[in-house]
Amino acid sequence: MALLITDDCINCDVCEPACPNEAISMGPEIYRIDPDKCTECVGHFEEPQCVALCPVACIPVDPERVESRETLMGKYLRLTELKVRTAG
């Protein structure tokens, strides 16, 4: 499952630097999460860092992007492999 940021976001800037996949960026009015990069921190941490740090609890699971832990791990592996290839 990818996460999403709701309209309750206060643009506190806590989530963006905490995302190990660089999936969070500023949208037109509030932060947004790129579902193709969001692994819910699988492969990095035990829990999604954006959710853990959000002071207003505005980052639920996106019901449109339900993914298993195995799918999220596969996405993590693809993202890290791509990062290694582009860095080298």
At 88, the pLDDT band (50, 70, 90 cuts) reads: low
Question: How many domains is the chain partitioned into structurally?
Answer: 1
Residue 66 lies in a domain: yes
- pTM for the full predicted model: 0.88
Those residues whose C-beta lies under 8 Å from the C-beta of residue 19, and which sit 6 or more positions away, are 49, 50
Residue 5 lies in a domain: no
Mean pLDDT of 44-73: 95
Query: Of all residues in the chain, what percent carry a pLDDT higher than 70?
Result: 93
Say which CATH number the domain at 74 has.
Answer: 3.30.70.20
Domain hosting residue 30, numbered range: 15-87
Residue 49 lies in a domain: yes
More confident residue, 67 or 84: 67
CB atoms within 10 A of CB 79: 19
Residue 7 lies in a domain: no
